Amino acid sequence: MAESKPKLLIVEDDEGLQAQLKWAYDDFDVVIAGDRESAIAALRSEEPSVVTLDLGLPPDPDGTTEGFAVLDAIMELKPDTKVIVASGHGARESALQAIERGAYDFYQKPVDIDQLGLIVRRAINLHKIERENRALAAKANEGNQVLGGMITSAPEMIKVARTIERVANTNVSVMLLGASGTGKELLARGLHETSDRWNGAFVAINCAAIPENLLESELFGHEKGAFTGAVKTTLGKIEQADGGTLFLDEVGDIPLPLQVKLLRFIQERTIERIGGREQIAVDTRIVCATHQDLEKMIGTGGFREDLFYRLAEVVVKIPSLAERPGDATLLAKAFLKKFADEMNPQVTGFAPDALAAIDGWPWPGNVRELENRVKRAVIMAEGKLVHAEDLDLIDSEDENATALNLKSAREQSDRKIIRHALARTEGNISSTAKMLGISRPTLYDLLKQYDLQT
């Protein structure tokens, strides 16, 4: 049986260009859409691997509003889709914004069919490879180790990692936005290790953890005798990161006077230590993170707008653990092995009630909360298995996220129910089938269909 053609969705309102692109890509199963509504309908029904998206769509053909609305919808409904954005409107600004929102690549009009074809084929191949990798990871019941050693099998987090990898070897400033405990520093370190600055220092500083009167010295350093207690010349974090990367965690907590000095460094790439007069050239890339709404702070005068745009050339939003289906269990197993080896070797795994509780808990404290609960549970466990009681969790069910279509919603529901049943029966096929009210052959078919392991 011949392999089916990969599906390509072309979102373009120009009928002449529609026909030209469809003719050029006869080795793909091409679907055409001319506006936002038909594009989203085609995404739901056809589930294309790759989308070429014109940002100028009706009723805003001279702007980008409709195009970005389509991109956002694709990233919400099917984030593993490779979207190639084309526009003649403000090329550089549109390119950066599209990549921030999850686009795979950007192409400026007028369209060169041959060059765009190369990008499309590369995207098709990458989508195929990523799909195969996810399948292998699911069969092994392990998450992919992506950027910085982060463990995940969630498309939402893999998309974040791929975005960071794409900008790693550029000089753009990156801002990581996410709730506390989502792994911002791990991703920042991964960006550094993937960049051409990997052999330089990675220096991190939590701006919220240092008193305001000491933060300037921590960042910019000081000369001997600059103030009482300055018994020697001390390099600041910016200078320590020369040739490498400086990670400013909780950048929203930097006081306004110090924001001015940081902005001057970014503009001029020189610093002056406290008590010093020498201008010192420093080649440091800045990556920052915050859980605060900086744009709102700009409106209230708490954060400088000019500094924000210097720090946020590319903004990456990190999903919470609750938005990363399956990752809580993967991470919990990794944490258990780590802490059991260190503190309680008799603990070998999780009891079924613990796995069910982990899968159902909303994790308001994200990965940090999960790590802390598993660590405490490993210490407190009296037997070989960690139970839900050891984790201090109660079973909780949450609603499925917005599904791509009815088929996708059914698959999500089936996977969750089967995983819960397997956890409660410790992988016993007969008991699981009985609990689910189906035959063993039917269960085996479902396990194979969904790449679930017992």
CATH of the domain at 187: 3.40.50.300
For residue 257, whether the previous peptide bond is cis, meaning omega lies within 30 degrees of 0, is no
In this structure, the answer to whether residues 372 and 407 fall within a common structural domain is yes
* Local structure of 93: helix, strand or coil: helix
CATH number of the structural domain spanning residue 434? 1.10.8.60
User: Chain-wide mean pLDDT for the chain?
Assistant: 86
Higher-scoring residue by pLDDT: 262, 357: 262
Domain boundary among 137, 170, 190: 137
Q: Is 146 within a domain? A: no
Q: Is 145 within a domain? A: no
Q: Is 144 within a domain? A: no
Would you say residue 398 has pLDDT above 50? no
* Residue 301 backbone zone (phi > 0: left; psi -120 to 50: alpha; other: beta): left
CATH number of the structural domain spanning residue 37? 3.40.50.2300
Name every residue whose Cβ is closer than 8 Å to that of residue 77 and which is 6 or more positions away in sequence: 40, 43, 44, 402, 403, 404
How many domains does the chain fold into?
Answer: 3
Q: What is the pLDDT of residue 235?
A: 92
pLDDT confidence bin for 216, thresholds 50/70/90 = very high
What is the pTM assigned to this prediction?
0.57
**Other CB atoms within 10 A of residue 131 CB:** 12
* Local structure of 448: helix, strand or coil: helix
Domain boundary among 95, 114, 137: 137
The predicted-structure confidence for 148-201, as pLDDT tens digits, reads as follows 678 888 888 888 988 998 899 888 999 999 988 898 999 999 999 989 899 999
- Name the token pair of 206: 């939590």
- Name the token pair of 69: 């609305």
Supply the angle between the helices 91-100 and 65-77 in degrees, to the nearest 10.
20
Q: What is the pLDDT of residue 289?
A: 96
Higher-scoring residue by pLDDT: 60, 375: 375
Q: Is 21 within a domain? A: yes
In this structure, the answer to whether residues 109 and 15 fall within a common structural domain is yes
Q: Is 374 within a domain? A: yes
In this structure, the answer to whether residues 70 and 54 fall within a common structural domain is yes
pLDDT confidence bin for 396, thresholds 50/70/90 = very low
In this structure, the answer to whether residues 328 and 310 fall within a common structural domain is no
In this structure, the answer to whether residues 167 and 132 fall within a common structural domain is no
User: If you average pLDDT over residues 272-297, what whole number do you get?
Assistant: 92
User: If you average pLDDT over residues 3-20, what whole number do you get?
Assistant: 87
pLDDT confidence bin for 454, thresholds 50/70/90 = low
49: closest CA among 7, 100, 89?
7
In this structure, the answer to whether residues 312 and 353 fall within a common structural domain is no
Q: What is the pLDDT of residue 423?
A: 67
Domain holding 217, by residue range, is 151-317
- Name the token pair of 423: 């956890």
Whole-Å CA distances, 241 to 190, 238, 333: 16, 5, 35
Name every residue whose Cβ is closer than 8 Å to that of residue 8 and which is 6 or more positions away in sequence: 25, 28, 29, 30, 31, 48, 49, 50, 51, 52, 120, 124
In this structure, the answer to whether residues 441 and 418 fall within a common structural domain is yes
In this structure, the answer to whether residues 291 and 354 fall within a common structural domain is no
The predicted-structure confidence for 38-80, as pLDDT tens digits, reads as follows 999 999 999 999 999 988 899 988 788 899 999 999 988 888 8
Q: Is 327 within a domain? A: yes
Q: Are the CB atoms for 384 and 346 separated by under 8 Å?
A: yes
- Name the token pair of 260: 């001015």
Q: Is 2 within a domain? A: no
Domain boundary among 115, 137, 159: 137
236: closest CA among 257, 265, 209, 208?
265
**In this structure, what DSSP letter does residue 234 have?**
B
In this structure, the answer to whether residues 293 and 197 fall within a common structural domain is yes
Higher-scoring residue by pLDDT: 294, 441: 294
In this structure, the answer to whether residues 310 and 166 fall within a common structural domain is yes
**DSSP alpha helix (H) spans, 248-396:** 256-268, 294-299, 305-311, 327-343, 352-360, 366-380, 388-391
Q: Is 1 within a domain? A: no
In this structure, the answer to whether residues 303 and 239 fall within a common structural domain is yes
In this structure, the answer to whether residues 216 and 263 fall within a common structural domain is yes
